[in-house]
Structure 1
Amino acid sequence: MAVSVIPFLLLFLLSSSAATIDVHQAKALIQTGSLYLDVRTVEEFQNGHVDAVNILNIPYMLNTPNGKVKNPDFLKEVSLACNKEDHLIVGCQLGMRSLSATTDLLSDGFKNVKDMGGGYVDWVKNKLPVNTPLAKEEL
């Protein structure tokens, strides 16, 4: 019976180390000046992203001929663009990459980092503002 508790405990410890917020909390923080860090691939980002004044796309995973691999320069790229005290909301497509990215950022000394649970899919599902190529063409 103890074996079945271990995966749950690991998941709990991983998620508790990274503060996860929902899309509505993320929207409120973005509106008050937090930077939205989209960790999806460039292609995913270009197909549509959270509509935010302060937004940055630094992929956590990169597309390669051998499939997706972790971006070896992720922490370096974020450190060049942001200060360790900046308030960051980290989002991806579904919430898995952003949770890993948030955990890595916190481990690297970033102090004010929140993971947006549910990712871009949940943002869209809740009809929150997006920036898409189609939206630009409609203007």
Structure 2
Amino acid sequence: MAVWANMLPHCVAFLLLLLFFMCRSGAKVVTIDVRAAKNLIQTNHIYLDVRTVEEFAKGHVDAAKIINIPYMMDTPKGRVKNPDFLKEVSSICNKEDQLVVGCQSGVRSLYATSDLLSDGFKNVKDMGGGYVDWVRNKFPINTSVAKEEL
């Protein structure tokens, strides 16, 4: 029991430090469902698809303003975070642009949204459920990429 009593202050300090780093951007990730995302996309929000180029080419959300910038990249060693993700987004979007971020199932978009908010983007929402939920709801998709291009 004495060992736990000695470790308690260290555990509390670690948890406080972890909480500080999680909240340091001052912005909290807001996750919306695909219905809310569809409404925002139809009202001038930019849809940022963070799936791989190959996933995007197989089919994607049908949106007037859509950008594909992969958050993860396939390498011989597996998927790794795109080291230029923030730079690529910043070269196309302003920090004040209204963005809805989506991926295949909602995991990559959550991380991408967090990174964007930490980088100073102000109007970013994560689309929970991703492309899978979009398709499940029978919302419009675009699969116009010719097979020869794949």
TM-score by length of 1: 0.85
CA offset digits 1:52-106 (Å, max 9, x no partner): 0000000000000110000000000000000000000000000000000000000
Amino acid in structure 2 at the alignment position of 1:115: D
Q: How far apart are 1:133 and its partner, in Å? A: 3.8
* Structure-2 residue corresponding to 1:3: none
Cα separation, 2, equivalents of 1:113 and 1:72:
20
What whole-Å deviation, never above 9, does each CA across 1:81-139 have from its counterpart, x for those lacking one?
Answer: 0000000000000000000000000000000000000000000000000001489xxxx
* In structure 1, distance between residues paired with 2:143 and 2:129: 19
Equivalent-residue separation in structure 2 for 1:129 and 1:88 (angstroms): 19
Residue 113 (structure 2) pairs with residue 102 (structure 1) = yes
- Map of 2:122 onto structure 1: 111
Which has the greater radius of gyration? 2
Instruction: Name stretches of at least 5 consecutive residues in structure 1 with no aligned partner.
Output: 1-5
1:52 aligns with 2:63: yes
Aligned AA (1:123): W
Name segments (4+ residues, structure 1) moved above 6 Å: none
Q: Are 1:30 and 2:45 an aligned pair?
A: no
The 3-state SS of whatever aligns with 1:17 is: coil
2:52 maps to a residue whose letter is T
- The answer on 1:89 being equivalent to 2:69 is no
Give 1:67's aligned residue. Answer: 78
| CA–CA separation in structure 1 for the residues paired with 2:144 and 2:75 | 24
Amino acid in structure 1 at the alignment position of 2:102? G
What is the distance in 2 between the residues matched to 1:51 and 1:66?
32
